Amino acid sequence: MRLVGDDWSGSDVTIRAERPDDREAIADVVAAAFGSPAEARLVEALRASSSFVPDWSLVAEVRGRVVGHVMVTYATLRDDATEHRIACLSPLAVAPDFHGRGIGSALVRAVTAHVDDDGEPLVVLEGSPLYYGHLGFEHSVPHGIHITLPDWAPPEAAQIMRLRNYDASLRGHLVYPPAFDALSDH
């Protein structure tokens, strides 16, 4: 499945890699979706960091307006003295007036397909098991991948999507890059 690289269009929604002139619109969508500026600052910090992969930051556009955004960046999986670079999905945001139209799902499917095509073994995230479970994510702990979650999150909020190059020997604890330090509850 190849959804990105070329534009993907479904009804009037186009999903494509972000461009430099999208940055303000992305910040607006992310802040509106989360109802706070913290995640928009996270996007800026990730984009400015060595964790950033330009092809893995996608926007959803409807008639020329950016209405959704998803970002996958590099994080670290640490197991005792061993460290692996792994792909981590965060954040995902859809403008509130466009919720419930499948745009968030389309963004997740597109970005994970792209990460898969790039040969990564897995994508890790913390989020709603109900939402991401429908999209192919599963509880990460049975696969030996642990995430320190906020107190309010269920254990199943730690999730992975196993990709074609999945390697079951990849185990350890997720260490977010420093850009996430500004988020208090990750």
Ligand X SMILES: CC(C)(COP(=O)(O)OP(=O)(O)OC[C@H]1O[C@@H](n2cnc3c(N)ncnc32)[C@H](O)[C@@H]1OP(=O)(O)O)[C@@H](O)C(=O)NCCC(=O)NCCS
Binding site for ligand X (CB under 6 A): 33-34, 91-94, 99-105, 127-128, 130-131
Nearest in space to 71 (alpha carbons), one of 99, 36, 97, 40? 40
Q: For residue 116, count other CB atoms closer than 10 A to its CB.
A: 21
DSSP 6: S
**Nearest to ligand X of 47, 101 (CB atom):** 101
DSSP 151: T
CB of 135 to ligand X, least distance (A): 8
CB of 69 to ligand X, least distance (A): 9
CB of 114 to ligand X, least distance (A): 17
**Nearest to ligand X of 31, 53 (CB atom):** 31
Which residues partner with 73 through β-bridges? 88
CB-based closest residue to ligand X: 104
**Nearest to ligand X of 86, 125 (CB atom):** 125
CB of 142 to ligand X, least distance (A): 20
CB of 131 to ligand X, least distance (A): 4
**Nearest to ligand X of 76, 105 (CB atom):** 105
**Nearest to ligand X of 104, 121 (CB atom):** 104
Nearest in space to 89 (alpha carbons), one of 103, 105, 75? 75
Encoded amino acid at 39, one letter:
E
DSSP 162: E
The helix (run of H) or strand (run of E) holding residue 59 is strand 57-62
The helix (run of H) or strand (run of E) holding residue 18 is none
